Structure 1
């Protein structure tokens, strides 16, 4: 059997984004409920059944107010460092192109070189929160390219995945690979949402 193919960074980021939206099933509860239903069906006598109870009359007075239905938050498409032109939700095509080409003014940058994953994750979150609070929109996140050409950098692979986590998605509107003059493969443009 041939060796398994490794996922690309883009496939990994997409998978992580989808995996965070899934709620696991609870198979034990489903099996117990099915077994209980079967046991009740088997224990019911085959003879005549008691008469059905009359439904209660409706209560007097105004009907109760309907309970508000909780709606799930809309699922956001995953952020990718290589967005197709015009596919960034929340951004018009012209601004999307300017963002991808690095033509928007960079209002802040962070360099994650030399940090552990935990340090980099926390520093990135604090940086984005501060920038959002101050109304900044276009940021540059420098991840580095990694140690060698054969091995991709850990931060380079993980930062797009982190930016798809709910704690980051509340702040981040879009990401894109930086242009060579801003770091190329070792950096990302991050576009923050506008404050409401």
Structure 2
């Protein structure tokens, strides 16, 4: 199988999105090529495209097949108040817990994704994520701010249906309850 026919894995997409967010277009340069499908086609940057030999076929936008548009993702649903109270009082089981203290954003993101993926595959419904309060040096805490933002991104959307701050006994402002989506039964 040629490299250009290879499908992007979930990890490849995450890496590509991370790199793409850090790139800034130079003034006077052409807009980057839009990725239209799941293969490696269209991943050439404008600089690489310009440096390619003249006999290489360059990707061209096809007006008959416009690029796919991304549907807006619905907001996460809050965890209902009675469920929050049951979790706080221990009447509803917390199926897993992860502590992200002392990790940088990259490590925490990967560890959280792996943890949520495993919990979802086990059929867990509610988990506890400890981010820490991060109140040192007058800041609010990087992970405390970042984790809720991560949970609404596409890579987490199929796993998470909602989240709320945890009760004081489970970490208070430095932790959150996450409700995982139910697994869909495959009719096959």
How does the TM-score come out when normalised to structure 1? 0.53
The partner residue of 1:100 within 68, 84, 90 is 84
Contact 1:102 1:179 in 2 (8 A): no
What stretches of structure 2 of length at least 5 have no aligned partner?
1-29, 32-67
Contact 1:125 1:168 in 2 (8 A): yes
Q: How big is each residue's C-alpha offset from its partner over 1:10-29, in whole Å with a ceiling of 9 and x where there is no partner?
A: xxxxxxxxxxxxxxxxxx99
User: How many residues in Structure 1 have an aligned counterpart in Structure 2?
Assistant: 116
The partner residue of 2:74 within 70, 73, 76 is 76
Q: 1:102 to 1:162 in 2, by over 3 A?
A: farther
SS at match of 1:159: helix
SS at match of 2:138: coil
The partner residue of 2:102 within 114, 119, 127 is 114
RMSD across aligned C-alpha pairs, in angstroms? 2.5
Which runs of structure 1 show a deviation greater than 2 angstroms over 4 or more consecutive aligned residues?
Answer: 70-75, 98-104, 147-150
- Find the aligned partners of 1:98 and 1:193 in 2 and give their Cα distance: 18
How does the TM-score come out when normalised to structure 2? 0.55
Higher relative contact order (CA 8 A, sep 6+): 1
Contact 1:178 1:187 in 2 (8 A): yes
Counterpart for residue 123 of structure 1: 111
Say which one has the larger Rg. 1
- Find the aligned partners of 2:176 and 2:137 in 1 and give their Cα distance: 19
